[in-house]
Amino acid sequence: MSGDNIKIKICMGPGGIAAGGNDVIEAFKGQLTNQRINASFGEQCSLHQVGCRGLCAKDVLVEIIIDGKETIYENINPEKVPRIVKEHILGDNPVKEWIAGEDYDNFKKKQIKVVLSHCGEIDPEDMNAYIEAGGYKAAHKALTSMSPSEIVETVKTSNLRGRGGAGFPTGLKWELGLRIKSDVKYVICNGDEGDPGAFMDRSVMEGDPHSVIEGMIICAKATESHKGYIYVRAEYPLAVKRLQQAIDQCLQKGYLGKNIFDTGFDFDIRIFQGAGAFVCGEATALMRSIEGKRGMPTPKLWRSAEKGLWEKPTVLNNVETFANIPKIILNGGDWFRNLGTERSGGTKVFSLTGNIKNSGLIEVPLGISLREIIYDIGGGIEGGRSLKAVQTGGPSGGCIPAALLDIEVDYESLAKVGSIMGSGGMVVLDETNCMVNTAKFFLEFTQAESCGKCTPCRIGTKRMLEILERITNGNGKEGDIELLEDLGSHIRATSLCGLGMTAPNPVLSTIRYFRDEYEAHIKDRKCPALVCRNLITYSIIEEECTGCGACKRACPVDSIRGVRKKPHKIDPELCVKCGTCFDVCKFKAILKA
């Protein structure tokens, strides 16, 4: 018990909470009062909830800092807490077997944390923690000593590009916003994050809400706006709570509201909670939604910079884009620019998920290779299987085959191989995934989310989906692949908004790289990855079958015949291909083909 300054940080990001972070906190609280630590250390031993630390696969992560010495534990549950308190905190003897191992170190090695620098380090509900970590210095600098055009120039120098998907240069957007004169202008933060398989923006809004607000204040100053909105997705109630808390704290402290930092500058932020529609992530649809209308995109006759929300000039940026701003103002545009590649500055946050060992939230400098992300940071594929493809950009993106793993990750190279950077979803697919089925999955999503306003998207995606359905059901026709390509290129060219324009991407990119799989489905009526139910057959390998009867008893439709101790047989007419026999057979006598 040497230390007299003890900090316990518990990961309460989305992953941490789901893994039982609350229970772990309670367990620590209970233990600390039990062990009379408070009595002996008083304020010196403190418990903090922190945002996402990234390695969600090993949650709950707990960090214990005694006199500056950091120890990280992984996979902690309430049952493990008493021992940690007893041996580590009271006995100064860390519990070795629970300390985060090699995976955690490798996971961190190639990452550079700019946007996520506070995530997992500070308590998101504590404004003072943010200020102690250097927070609001940038806003102060921008408001007290920089002119709007100086801010715009710094952002332009930084080469920051919008992190919401399209990658539009943020500095240019702000310059336009500044140039247009109007008594009312809006700043909007897009926190709709609809991409299924992505949780970057959520982690930032929940783990470091003040950084988003600070970015917005700086943007307001740069574009001479006094009203802000944060549009948060309905599914993220905790983000709404934390942001609202942060806004209230700022109002109290005079960092928002009238006369911020005594500079005479006013800025207010309101939160608007979305109501569940993917298309509302699109900038114009989002504005219609705030106006209380159906969230349908409008043709871009004017740039939003001129006529946006309620027809007033509006600058809209993504959560991560805003969260980068304070760092850029503090460290300078050149610093940020040098972190990335020639054409895109800085780092990018990705949610690395799917069939990967260390799934979680990562932040890497632009220009890193996919291979480094997947093997060095992600620790490779689960269960020793091999990598088939990496899907980036969500339903608007494409699948990059394993052969192209050495490409650099930036906006241009991903576009060149038929995918997009998107907002940062990165789903790793191993050999057990059928690419036709994967394409169908994404198209199901976009087809269901199409708002229906324009015909190519509303009807075109439906027709494409029908074709994919018949291919995966074993009824594909000669010419279907070409039909998909043709439809896809038309939908791409003629849809009203980005949703339709990008909807064919998953299909087109899988055709481009995995055409043979499509052909196998259509010509041979086979699904090489053994995923599409109608294209699989189950049979019993006579030599292996011991006649134990386990499969016969398990079959829900009585399709298996045979007498005890003799090889059994599956009646293909009756078999519904549920795979139960395959799962119950202990002798690997069921052949799935």
Partner 1 sequence: MKVEEIDVDEQIGEVGQILSEAEKKKGILIHVLQKIQEDNGYLPGDVLSNLSKKLYFPLSEIYSVASFYKQFHFKPRGKKIVKICMGTACYVRGAKEILNTVEERFNVKAGETTEDLAVTLETVGCIGCCGLAPVATVNDEVKGEISSKKLDRLIKFIKEE
Ligand X SMILES: Cc1cc2nc3c(=O)[nH]c(=O)nc-3n(C[C@H](O)[C@H](O)[C@H](O)COP(=O)(O)O)c2cc1C
Q: Would you count residue 355 as binding partner 1 (CB under 8 A)?
A: yes
Place of tokens 């204040």: 217
Q: Which residues contact residue 506 at a Cβ distance below 8 angstroms, ignoring those fewer than 6 apart?
A: 391, 395, 397, 398, 399, 438, 439, 442, 443
- Sequence-ordered alpha helix ranges (H) in 236-293: 237-253, 283-290
Tell which one of 94, 196, 474, 547 touches ligand FES (CB under 6 A): 196
Residues 146-165 that bind ligand X (CB under 6 A): 162-165
Tell which one of 260, 277, 414, 545 touches partner 1 (CB under 8 A): 277
| Number of residues near partner 1 (by CB under 8 A) | 60
Q: Would you count residue 193 as binding ligand X (CB under 6 A)?
A: yes
The two tokens of residue 513 are 């790289």
Q: Would you count residue 196 as binding partner 1 (CB under 8 A)?
A: yes
Are the CB atoms for 228 and 139 separated by under 8 Å?
Answer: no
Q: Among 34, 22, 50, which residue's Cα sits nearest to residue 82?
A: 34
Pairing of strands 62-66, 6-11: antiparallel
Residues 265-284 that bind ligand X (CB under 6 A): 279, 281-283
Q: Would you count residue 168 as binding ligand X (CB under 6 A)?
A: yes
Partner touching 236 among ligand FES, partner 1, ligand X, none, CB below 5 to 8 Å by kind: partner 1
Q: Among 124, 179, 485, 477, which residue's Cα sits nearest to residue 303?
A: 179
What is the b/e burial string over 151-186, where b = at least 16 CB atoms within 10 angstroms of the residue's CB?
bbbbbbbbbbbbbbbbbebbbebbbbbbebeeeebb
Q: Would you count residue 451 as binding partner 1 (CB under 8 A)?
A: yes
Tell which one of 67, 235, 342, 486 touches partner 1 (CB under 8 A): 235
| Number of residues near ligand X (by CB under 6 A) | 22
The two tokens of residue 272 are 């608007």
Partner touching 273 among partner 1, ligand X, ligand FES, none, CB below 5 to 8 Å by kind: partner 1
Q: Would you count residue 192 as binding ligand X (CB under 6 A)?
A: yes
Q: Would you count residue 30 as binding ligand FES (CB under 6 A)?
A: no
Place of tokens 């006995």: 91
Q: Would you count residue 216 as binding ligand X (CB under 6 A)?
A: no
Q: At what angle do helices 319-331 and 200-207 cross, to 10 degrees?
A: 60
Are the CB atoms for 251 and 240 separated by under 8 Å?
Answer: no
Place of tokens 């980005």: 498
Burial grade of 375 (CB within 10 A; 0-12, 13-18, 19 or more)? middle
User: In sequence order, what E strands does 15-94 have?
Assistant: 45-50, 62-66, 69-73
Place of tokens 């010495």: 69
The two tokens of residue 261 are 């930092």
Q: Shortest Cβ distance from residue 507 to ligand FES (Å)? A: 20
Could you give the string, one character per residue 309-338, with x where binding to partner 1 holds by CB under 8 A and - elsewhere? -x-x--------------------------
Partner touching 445 among partner 1, ligand FES, ligand X, none, CB below 5 to 8 Å by kind: partner 1
Tell which one of 197, 379, 394, 397 touches ligand FES (CB under 6 A): 197
Are the CB atoms for 304 and 316 separated by under 8 Å?
Answer: yes
In the bound state with partner 1, the residue whose beta carbon lies nearer, of 79 and 132, is: 79
Tell which one of 427, 491, 529, 540 touches partner 1 (CB under 8 A): 427
Distances (CA, A) of 387 to 109, 370, 496, 515, 529: 22, 12, 36, 17, 13
In the bound state with ligand X, the residue whose beta carbon lies nearer, of 31 and 318, is: 318
Q: Would you count residue 148 as binding ligand FES (CB under 6 A)?
A: no
Q: Shortest Cβ distance from residue 150 to ligand X (Å)? A: 21
Q: Shortest Cβ distance from residue 197 to ligand FES (Å)? A: 5
349: helix, strand or coil:
strand
Partner touching 394 among partner 1, ligand FES, ligand X, none, CB below 5 to 8 Å by kind: partner 1
- Phi, psi torsion values for 107, nearest 5 degrees: -60, -35
Partner touching 310 among partner 1, ligand X, ligand FES, none, CB below 5 to 8 Å by kind: partner 1
Residues 383-442 that bind ligand X (CB under 6 A): 423
Q: Would you count residue 238 as binding ligand FES (CB under 6 A)?
A: no
Tell which one of 436, 499, 532, 560 touches ligand X (CB under 6 A): 499
Q: Which parts of this chain interact with ligand X (CB under 6 A)?
A: 162-166, 168, 190, 192-194, 279, 281-283, 316-318, 321, 423, 497-499
Q: Which parts of this chain interact with partner 1 (CB under 8 A)?
A: 14-15, 17-19, 55-57, 59, 184, 193-199, 202-203, 227, 234-237, 268, 270, 272-278, 289-296, 310, 312, 351, 353-355, 359-361, 391, 394, 425, 427, 429, 433, 441-442, 445, 451
Q: Which parts of this chain interact with ligand FES (CB under 6 A)?
A: 196-197
